[in-house]
Amino acid sequence: MKSARIVEVDKPLQVQELVTPKPKGQQVLIKVQSSGVCHSDIHLWEGGYEGPGGQLLKTTDRGVKYPLTPGHKIAGVIDSLGEQANGNSKNEKVLVFPWIGEGLCPACRMGKENLCDRPRSLGIYTDGGYSEYVLVPSYRYLVKIGEELDTDTTAPLSCSALTAYGAVKNTNLTPNDIVVIVGAGGLGLMAIQLAKAITGSRIIATDLDDEKLKEAKNNGADITINSKKEDPVKAVMELTGKMGADAMIDFVNSSKTVETDMKLLRRRARIVLVGLFGGELKLNLVTMPTRAYRLIGSYTGSIADLIELVSLAERGVIKPIISNRFKLDQATEALTMLKEGKIVGRGVINP
C-alpha cells in the first residue's frame, strides 16, 4: 500500500510503498477514502509546537516516533476483518474514532479513551490515514455512516466537530442559559451550530473579525460582539442584566481572552477552555469558591459523543464544509496550504 509519511521533520512527506497489514483478532483494515488534514498534523510535521516562553515542545518528547503516517480524520470502507471483529461487514462505510487509548486506565474503563493516560491515537502515535489503508486496532472504534453522508464531509467530524461537541457538553447548558463563545473560526462556528441544536441556550459569539461574526450569525448565534470595537465585558453585562454569562467556551484560550472571560461570569458559571493559543492566568482565588465557578479543560470527545455527532450530521443538524481535495502525493502541498491559511473550511486527502 502507498502511504504519505513524515520521515524527517520539516522535510517534504514521502510516499512510501509499505506492506498492507492483515487484520488479526479484533482488528479491522479500512480502505481509506478520505483523510482530513488538521493543524495538529502541521505540529507533527514541524516536530513540535511553541510552549511557554517561546520554547519548542518536541513531539518526540511526547512519545511520537518517525517515520509516521499522519491523518486522524479517517473515513472509508471496510476491506477485511480479523476473526474476532464482530458487528461489521466488508464494504461497509465507516468513520474511524482515532482517539484510542490503551484500554485499561480509569478513563478508558469509563469510555473516555480520548483522555487515556497512555494514548495511542491514530495518525499521532501510530500510523494514520494519509494512506491507502489503515489498520484499526478494534471494530469498536468504527462508526457506521448512513447513505446521507459521504466520506469527505464525514471524516472531519472525528476531530474538529468532536472537539466542539465535547466542549459544548462540558458546559452543561440548559435552555435558559446564556453562553458566550469566544472565537468564531471553524471550531467556534461548529460549537455555535451544536449549542443551538441541542441546548436551546442563548448564544453570544465574540471575535475580532466582522466577517467571522457574520458567519457566526448565519450559524445560529443570537448576538455577536466584535471585541476589537466594543468592550466585551460591558456588552455582556448589559445583555445579561448585570448578571454575567452562565457559561463560556473559549476557542482561543490566550492570557488575554481568559482574563476577559473571568470578568463575564455569572455565579455558578462554567468556563470551558479549548483553544491552544496558550499563556498564563492570574486567578482571584476567593471568587472561585464564593461564586462557585468551574474551570474546565476540554479535549476532543468520547466514542459515544462521536456516534451522537454522526447522527446529528445524518439529520442535517450540522454541516461540515469541504473546500480542498488532494491526492496522496500532494500531502506536503495540503499541509503547506493549511499552514499558510489558504484552506477555507476543511481540506481532505483522497488516497
- Residues within the interface to Zn ion (CB under 5 A): 38, 40, 101-102, 105, 108, 116, 159
Residues 6+ apart with CB under 8 A from 218: none
Query: C-beta of 279: minimal distance to Zn ion in Å?
Result: 22
User: Which one-letter amino acid corresponds to residue 104?
Assistant: L
Nearer to Zn ion, 38 or 216 (CB): 38
Judge contact between 314 and 293, C-beta under 8 A: no
For the chain, report the end-to-end CA distance as a whole number of angstroms: 10
CB 320 within 8 A of CB 156: yes
Between 83 and 102, whose beta carbon lies closer to Zn ion?
Answer: 102
CB of 41 to Zn ion, least distance (A): 7
User: Which residue reads 482571584 in cell numbers?
Assistant: 284
Minimum CB separation of residue 101 from Zn ion in Å reads 3
Q: CB-wise, 26 or 40, nearer to Zn ion? A: 40
CB 96 within 8 A of CB 102: no
What is the rounded distance in angstroms from the CA atom of residue 155 to the CA atom of residue 132?
15
With respect to Zn ion, which residue has the nearer C-beta, 270 or 346? 346
Least CB distance to Zn ion at residue 134 (A):
15
Least distance (Å) between residue 103 CB and Zn ion = 6
337's CB contacts (< 8 A; 6+ apart) are 324, 343, 347
Q: Which residues fall within 8 angstroms of residue 241, CB to CB, at 6 or more apart?
A: none
Measured CA to CA, the distance from residue 158 to residue 96 in angstroms comes to 7
SS3 category, 247: strand
Residue whose CB is less far from Zn ion, 195 or 338: 338
Min dist. Cβ of residue 162 to Zn ion (A): 9
Closest to Zn ion by CB, 163 or 199: 163
